Structure 1
Amino acid sequence: MAALQGTKVSVGEEQLVRAIDRAIKALEGPSTMFEMQMHEATKTIMVKVINKDTGELIREIPPEKTLDLVAKMMEFAGILIDERI
């Protein structure tokens, strides 16, 4: 397992993340920058488009709030399954 910004990922996942990072850097414009993070609970990669001048979040794909909701639903489903067994 390799570590990428404190998160343990497989070598294949690390290569994928690096390829995506290169593609994102190629897409950045003069007034925007991209930031890539992994949502810890769902292990989903999030991309944020940020205004370079103000630091304002322009867009987030997928939205972190959505991933938080999915994580809570997964947790809730796990609780229900644990209680039935």
Structure 2
Amino acid sequence: MEIKTVSPSSASAKPIVADRTAGEKSKIIEQQHEEQQMDVKKEKDEKKVLTKEEAEHVVNGMNEFLKPQFTSLQFKIHDETERYYVEVVDQDSKKVIREIPAKQLLDMYAKMTDFLGLFIDKKF
């Protein structure tokens, strides 16, 4: 087995220098990160504190926004097409909010099929 000596100018010495500069760079990055965190903490401390009235206004607004919708789903069968559709109904007012698919669309489909049926029946 042969043992070779390594000179300081060989390629193996370069990564050590690169590691040192990379280590220094990482320390600098860590220091900058810590400074940014300190700045964020200072900004949070300096923020305005809400008054009771302002807090109540914000809370009331959020409650109105998050107020649950009292709706129900009703599954129905269209008379002419014999297809299902869904009605979303407001429970308080019993008003139909939405139909999926729209009942008018099903009505139009039924009339179109009737018209095509009459057209084809008359032609033959």
**Number of the residue aligned with 1:39:** 78
Deviating 4+ runs (over 2 angstroms): none
- The alignment status of 1:80 with 2:111, answered yes or no, reads no
Deviations 1:42-72 (A, max 9, x none): 1110100001111111110011111000000
Instruction: Please list, as runs of the form range in 1=range in 2, the aligned pairs for 1:1-85 lying within 5 A after superposition.
Output: 31-85=70-124
State the percentage of identical aligned residues.
Answer: 35
Structure 2 spans left out of the alignment, 5+ residues: 1-67
> SS at 1:82's partner residue?
helix
- Of structures 1 and 2, the one with the larger relative CO (CA 8 A, separation 6+) is 1
Separation in 2 of the partners of 1:82 and 1:75? 10
Q: CA RMSD in A?
A: 1.3
The aligned length equals: 57
Structure exhibiting the larger radius of gyration computed from Cα positions:
2
Separation in 2 of the partners of 1:55 and 1:79? 38
Separation in 1 of the partners of 2:69 and 2:97? 14
More helix by share: 2
